[in-house]
Amino acid sequence: MFKKHKSLLLLALAAAVPCVAFAGGGEPRYHGKTLSAWVDEIDPETPMSPEEDPTYSRAIRHIGTNAIPTLIQWIKSDSTALEDKLSADRMKALSEGKHPMMYGPETYGSAQRAQYAFGILGSLARTAVPALQEIALDSRDQVQYRAAIQSLIRIGEPADPGIKTILENGPPDVKPFAIEALEYITDWNTNALALVPPAVNCLLEKNGEAGDIAADVLSRSAPASSFRPTLIAALPTASADARLRVYRCLFWTADKGNGMKEETKHLLQAALNDPDSSVRDFATNALGDLVSPNGGR
């Protein structure tokens, strides 16, 4: 009697588990198709409305965390050289009047495929954050670290700590891509606000590219009250390049809070006496815009 009940219980449990199997190489399958086959159905060039839920999306979500090892490997096995080959093959196909491959063979073009899959998994892929963070910090190939960061962005809020670590400790050429994560935040909760201080540090550092992107993204995306006081406090010790970024950021956010416009005017008036001519020129032009009817960014 006990054995019979045990058998029925096992059957019931089996019926409750999604139909996910693994291919010979360890790649998971769903309903007889590999993860690769499902991902290759994604057409990034065709816009999809939020109401749509294609079969491939449902399949990838059913595969769930079983997909993560394969997706991580796709990013690690791709490279700039392989992406250049993919681009050349696509151009050759177009010149011959043939339909170009979207991704190409699994030996290249795989980092982009991983990004799209992580976008479908979203927060379901939170356990992938440490591995993606490691790629972003350690890889020197732009295709790899950019795909890792884009995948973190697509995972969403659970990936914020990973983005923060990259902003704090990432190499100079990696940080600009991590700063872009702030553009995709819609809920500035505690975890999201924790990204602001390291982004401000990027703005104040010597890295010109990261600093310029930080000034732009912070001014457009983050709550102005979360970074303006820190920027103002940094002015006395900031380099000339950093001061210019600070004044730009203050100018771009002058209309985003009570009293910020007047505060910005006073700071720009003081900047008219800055030792750097580029800062003085910007302050002159910015003050002219602020007092005009359509002043501001």
Q: What is the pTM of this model?
A: 0.85
How far apart (Å, rounded) are the C-alpha atoms in residues 62 and 27?
A: 14
CA angle 39/40/44 to nearest 5° reads 90
How far from each other are the two terminal CA atoms of the chain, in whole angstroms?
Answer: 77
User: What would the two tokens of residue 280 be?
Assistant: 């003085």
How far apart (Å, rounded) are the C-alpha atoms in residues 64 and 143?
A: 24
pLDDT for 25 equals 57
Residue 74 CB neighbours (<10 A): 24
pLDDT for 13 equals 35
User: What would the two tokens of residue 14 be?
Assistant: 């089996």
DSSP the chain: -HHHHHHHHHHHHHHHS--EEE-TTS-EEETTEEHHHHHTT--TTS---TT---HHHHHHHHHGGGGHHHHHHHHHH--HHHHHHHHHHHHHHHHTTPPPPSS-STTSSHHHHHHHHHHHHGGGGGGGHHHHHHHHHH---HHHHHHHHHHHHHH-GGGHHHHHHHHHHS-TTTHHHHHGGGGG-----HHHHTTHHHHHHHHHSS-HHHHHHHHHHHHHHS-GGGTHHHHHHHGGGS-HHHHHHHHHHHHHTTTSSTTHHHHHHHHHHHHTT-SSHHHHHHHHHHHHHHHSTT---
DSSP 106-163: TTSSHHHHHHHHHHHHGGGGGGGHHHHHHHHHH---HHHHHHHHHHHHHH-GGGHHHH
How far apart (Å, rounded) are the C-alpha atoms in residues 263 and 270?
A: 11
Are 246 and 203 in contact, with CB atoms under 8 Å apart?
Answer: yes
For 98-135, write each residue's pLDDT tens digit. Answer: 877 666 555 556 898 999 999 999 999 999 999 999 99
Neighbour-count burial for 210-242, b at 16+ CB within 10 Å, e otherwise:
bbbbbbbbbbebbebebbbeebeebbeebeebb
Over the chain (297 residues), the average pLDDT of each successive run of 10 is 41 40 69 91 76 90 96 93 83 85 61 93 97 98 97 97 97 96 95 97 93 97 97 97 98 94 96 98 95 62
pLDDT for 226 equals 97
pLDDT for 59 equals 96
User: What would the two tokens of residue 168 be?
Assistant: 């704090």
The domain ranges of the chain are 2-155, 223-297
